[in-house]
Chains A and B, each alone.
Chain A
Amino acid sequence: MAKARAIVKRLKAVKNIRKITRTMELIATARFKKAMDRATEAASYTKKISEIVADLSKADLSFSHPLLTQPEEQTKNVLLVMTSNRGLCGGYNSAVLRHVTARLKEARSSGEELTIEVVGKRGMSYLKFQEMEYSKAYTNFEDKPRYDEVEEIADRYIDGFVSGNIHRLDVAYTRFETVSRQTAVLETLLPVGSIGDDDENAAEEAGQGIDYEFLPSPEDILEEIVPAAFKARLFKCFLDSAVSEQIARMVAMKGATENAGDMISTLSMQYNRARQSQITSELSEIIGGAAALD
């Protein structure tokens, strides 16, 4: 009897787990849809920015802006790590953190001064475990990052970069490519490489042969649009991370639910066998006993 009991207990536990993972999958799906909508809505802003940049580039002016120029030395760098606050999302965090480890190794060998800033509790606990120090940690970004919160961070980076306290800003995050494909990447956001490359098609469609009037002047608009483009790009990193996290969780939980289902069928088979063999042995005991009486 003991064995069958133990299996029943386990079966119950697995069934409960399946319920939880199934629910988590549904929640992640709903959140993913919302995050996805936000990301699509935000895309129109970046598209417009690159359109204006394309218009500006037709105005024959040399692009020079403090955020565009590469500083001479590269010793004070910042790495922003974007992870999730919660786990149970498959390889989402570890893929990002793998980039971080590689970057740290590189920094150690080259002797640069690398400051780490981290978003999400998962990244914080990882760095703590690795005994690596981080200077700032944010846990306020969930699946709906707000622009004004991101802007605050972006402003700090811009100030640091312009004043020469930051020479390079790298961001390790998960880029959303398609619904079935997200990759962890390490991207350099400062110095801003080029502001028009984001969306080549939009740039080409925009303002062909239109002679714009620039108010106050193309240079002035450029001066404003470079920080705006950087902020939009950083915001996009946050949005991408949020969307990717939900997808990763969705996939992980779907797998977990399926595995739990498989386990339930194996366990119930085992239970039935155990029960059957128990009945058989009891029967044979009774028959044996009856035969001894005769």
Chain B
Amino acid sequence: MANELQLIVVTPETTIVDEPVSALRFPLFDGQAGVLPGRAPLVGRLGCGELKLSAVSGERSYFVDGGFVQINGKTVTLLTSRCLASSEIDSDAARAELAEATTRPAANDADIDARFRDQDRARAMLSLKK
């Protein structure tokens, strides 16, 4: 038990994961971050991408879509608006989303940012599905 973290992943609708893990990797706003037991307390902003965890039952990966992470002692909490197991990702929908984002006209900075964000999200989903 000493070398384990309790990982909790919550979305506004439900709690998706609540189990001990030996290590995990999640997307921070600027890239992937790995966490091992004994990490210093942290509050951070998540990006979208792959959440990979090593639990007793093996390695699993999820797709998380933004949110926050809080690490406090042995507890790692991920708050995200959307979290899908990698098998649940609908690659057709993601591809359509990517195509839509790529062809969407963007006139100002905010639109361009939104477009890049949507493209990144769709690409992250697709790469996870493969």
Q: Which residues of A contact B (CB under 8 A)?
A: 38, 41-42, 44-45, 48-49, 51-52, 55-56, 146-148, 151, 207, 210-216, 220-221, 224-225, 228, 231-232, 235
Query: Across the interface, which residues of B come within 8 angstroms of A216, CB to CB?
Result: 29-30, 44-45
- B68 pairs with A224, CB closer than 8 A: yes
- B29 pairs with A55, CB closer than 8 A: no
5 nearest A-B residue pairs (beta carbon): A215-B44, A41-B14, A147-B12, A213-B42, A212-B41
- A147 pairs with B81, CB closer than 8 A: yes
The residue from A38, A45, A151, A215 contacting B29, defined by CB atoms under 8 A apart: A215
- B81 pairs with A207, CB closer than 8 A: no
Contacting A at CB under 8 A, from B1-39, are 10-15, 28-30
- B35-71 near A? 1/0 per residue, CB < 8 Å: 0000011111100000000000000000000111010
Q: In the complex, what distance in Å separates the CA atom of A56 from the CA atom of B10?
A: 19
Given contacts A207-B41, A215-B45, contact A44 B15 (CB under 8 A): yes
- A215 pairs with B43, CB closer than 8 A: yes
Q: List 18 A-B contacts (CB under 8 A).
A: A38-B13, A38-B14, A42-B12, A42-B13, A42-B14, A45-B10, A52-B70, A55-B70, A56-B43, A147-B12, A147-B82, A212-B41, A214-B44, A216-B44, A216-B45, A224-B66, A224-B68, A225-B68
- A213 pairs with B13, CB closer than 8 A: no
- Does any Cβ of A come within 8 Å of B72's Cβ? yes
- B10 pairs with A48, CB closer than 8 A: yes
Q: Is the interface of A mostly helix, strand, loop or mixed?
A: helix
Given contacts A211-B41, A212-B43, A224-B45, contact A44 B70 (CB under 8 A): no
Q: Knowing that A41-B15, A151-B81 touch, tell me 17 more A-B residue pairs with CB under 8 angstroms.
A: A38-B14, A42-B12, A42-B13, A42-B14, A45-B12, A48-B70, A48-B79, A52-B43, A147-B82, A207-B72, A210-B72, A212-B43, A215-B28, A215-B29, A224-B66, A224-B68, A235-B12
Q: In the complex, what distance in Å separates the CA atom of A55 from the CA atom of B41?
A: 11
- B42 pairs with A228, CB closer than 8 A: no
Who on chain A is nearest to B16 by CB?
A41
Q: In the complex, what distance in Å separates the CA atom of A288 from the CA atom of B15?
A: 83
- Does any Cβ of A come within 8 Å of B91's Cβ? no
Q: In the complex, what distance in Å separates the CA atom of A221 from the CA atom of B11?
A: 17
Given contacts A45-B10, A48-B10, A147-B13, contact A221 B45 (CB under 8 A): yes
Least distance between A242 CB and chain B CB atoms (Å): 12
- A228 pairs with B79, CB closer than 8 A: yes
Query: Across the interface, which residues of A come within 8 angstroms of B28, CB to CB?
Result: 215
Given contacts A48-B77, A49-B79, contact A55 B43 (CB under 8 A): yes
Q: In the complex, what distance in Å separates the CA atom of A224 from the CA atom of B80?
A: 12
Least distance between B60 CB and chain A CB atoms (Å): 20
- B41 pairs with A52, CB closer than 8 A: no
Query: Across the interface, which residues of A come within 8 angstroms of B70, CB to CB?
Result: 48, 51-52, 55
- B13 pairs with A41, CB closer than 8 A: yes
The residue from B13, B29, B44, B67 contacting A228, defined by CB atoms under 8 A apart: B67
Query: Across the interface, which residues of A come within 8 angstroms of B82, CB to CB?
Result: 147-148
- B81 pairs with A228, CB closer than 8 A: yes
